[in-house]
Amino acid sequence: MRKICLTVIGLYISFLSAFSQKNRPDTVYTPKPLKVDEVNLISSYYTQEGNHSAVTGGIGNEHVIDLSTGLEVKFVGWDTQHNKHTLSAELGFDHHTAASSAYVSKTGASKTGGTRIYPSLNWSVENLKGNSFGIGVYYSHEYNYQSVGLEVNGSKKLSSNTEINGKVSGFFDRVKMIYPSELIPGTNNNTTGGGYSTYTTASGRTVTVRDGQEYSDDIPSSARNTFTASASLAQIVNKRMQFSVMTDLVEQTGYLGLPFHRVYFTDGTAHVENLPDNRTKLPLGFRLNYFMGDHFVFRAYYRYYMDSWGIRSHTADIEIPVKFNSFFSVSPFYRYYTQTAAKYFGAYATHTSADTYYTSNFSYSKLNSQFYGVGIHLAPPKGILNQHLNTLEVRYGHYTQSTDLYSNVISFAFTFK
């Protein structure tokens, strides 16, 4: 934690110097207070099918439906020193139904859906040289966890063609320890009646369960913390070509599994997923944009990823927007991903009592995937339907994974000026 704090202080001093008075013009400038600059509304519909549910030990229905909506209101203003201030307030709302969550209870009658709400607030200031500094706060809440996040970010122009960006963030989560009905730890004195089950744990805590789902207010929770330091360098090579390189260092500590994920051993016994309480991630990425005349843009992205759990992965992404005129474009895209398995993964009934850590979550398995689709961007000069609806973007994607999982997603993005 000390390293994170020192990094934040260093970033703050560095970017504060970029806004010193010696860079200010001497002319008198009338400040402009914050006012609404634009409103963005994004909505998506996602469906998924598969047969390797982690809730039932790596087998079972992975059907998911998710409806997501996000609203962002952006305010912009200028101070007496010509600095541009941007304040963004966002509110996200997700509701999903998942077939696998019904089997937290072996009766198949548990909670099958969940709602997540995630507001955030971001502020940034940018001077005439293009240097910026910003902070952000985030919150997310769902029935089985809550999260608070803090972020500090900044950018600095090294020249008219070169820019560096930095960011540090921390997310502090609490995961509710909701166990499979038959694996609630230390239970005894089980009494059942009226559709409810009451357990007294080994520590003396009373837990009430209905349909396999814990509803009592005293469900214990475990901490999960994520710290990230990011850096990138963006370079304009010429009027047609731009590229950037980026890297992140991510450190996670605390409870990193999920208590309702079962693991079945070779002897047929069921256990709760058990993973180490720390994980280090290191992705390295490269992005290239090339403008091929007035109508085509070639966008390419590559990322290499490795972590302390043994996963190594490669991601390659290509998108080619085709611009038909000044306000209408179509963007086909394709992404390929491949990874090795985590050293703690084992399929259904393959782990043994000799394993210290174990999971049957197929997101940690060896796999490859493809994601492809098309986006349509519409931004006529006089607006869409009226002058306030400035931009409309529709995007559809189809995802397939070598584990027999597949999904479809369609999203709509509206910008109001």
* Whether 170 contacts 227, CB under 8 Å: yes
Q: Which of 128, 131, 172 is nearest to 151 (CA)?
A: 172
Domain boundary among 165, 200, 218: 218
Q: How confident is the model at residue 207 (pLDDT cuts 50, 70, 90)?
A: low
pLDDT one-digit tens code per residue, 348-401:
999 999 999 999 999 999 999 999 999 999 999 888 877 789 999 999 999 999
Same domain, 131 and 204: no
Q: Which of 171, 74, 65, 68 is nearest to 121 (CA)?
A: 74
pLDDT at 247: 97
Domain boundary among 218, 236, 267: 218
pLDDT at 134: 98
What domain range includes position 93?
2-20+45-182+228-416
Same domain, 165 and 239: yes
Same domain, 153 and 173: yes
Same domain, 363 and 259: yes
**Residue 197 counted as domain residue:** yes
Same domain, 327 and 188: no
What single DSSP character describes residue 365?
S
pLDDT one-digit tens code per residue, 31-63:
888 899 999 999 999 999 999 999 999 999 999
Using CA atoms, how far apart are residues 199 and 383, in angstroms rounded to an integer? 61
For residue 78, give the CATH number of its domain: 2.40.160
Using CA atoms, how far apart are residues 165 and 324, in angstroms rounded to an integer? 33
Alpha carbon distances (Å) from 355 to 259, 312, 344? 17, 22, 8
Same domain, 201 and 83: no
User: What are 367's two structure tokens?
Assistant: 């796999």
pLDDT at 181: 79
**Residue 202 counted as domain residue:** yes
* Whether 224 contacts 254, CB under 8 Å: yes
Same domain, 152 and 66: yes
**Residue 37 counted as domain residue:** no
Q: How confident is the model at residue 276 (pLDDT cuts 50, 70, 90)?
A: very high
Same domain, 177 and 196: no
Which residue reads 């966008």 in tokens?
299
Give the global pTM: 0.85
pLDDT one-digit tens code per residue, 63-98:
999 999 999 999 999 999 999 999 999 999 999 998
Count: domains in the chain: 2
**Residue 384 counted as domain residue:** yes
Alpha carbon distances (Å) from 203 to 97, 185, 188, 218, 337? 34, 10, 11, 13, 46
pLDDT one-digit tens code per residue, 177-206:
888 878 876 544 343 433 445 455 544 455
Same domain, 96 and 15: yes
pLDDT one-digit tens code per residue, 237-271:
999 999 999 999 999 999 999 999 999 999 999 99
User: What are 217's two structure tokens?
Assistant: 């207010």
pLDDT one-digit tens code per residue, 115-133:
999 999 999 999 999 999 9
Same domain, 102 and 176: yes
Domain boundary among 168, 200, 218: 218
The mean pLDDT value for 275-285 works out to 98
Same domain, 145 and 61: yes
* Whether 201 contacts 207, CB under 8 Å: yes
The mean pLDDT value for 214-232 works out to 81
pLDDT at 112: 63
Same domain, 369 and 386: yes
User: What are 28's two structure tokens?
Assistant: 């008198």
pLDDT at 108: 64
**Residue 29 counted as domain residue:** no
**Residue 26 counted as domain residue:** no
What single DSSP character describes residue 21?
G
pLDDT at 301: 98
Could you tell me what percent of the chain has a pLDDT over 70?
A: 83
Could you tell me what percent of the chain has a pLDDT over 90?
A: 72
**Residue 264 counted as domain residue:** yes
**Residue 348 counted as domain residue:** yes
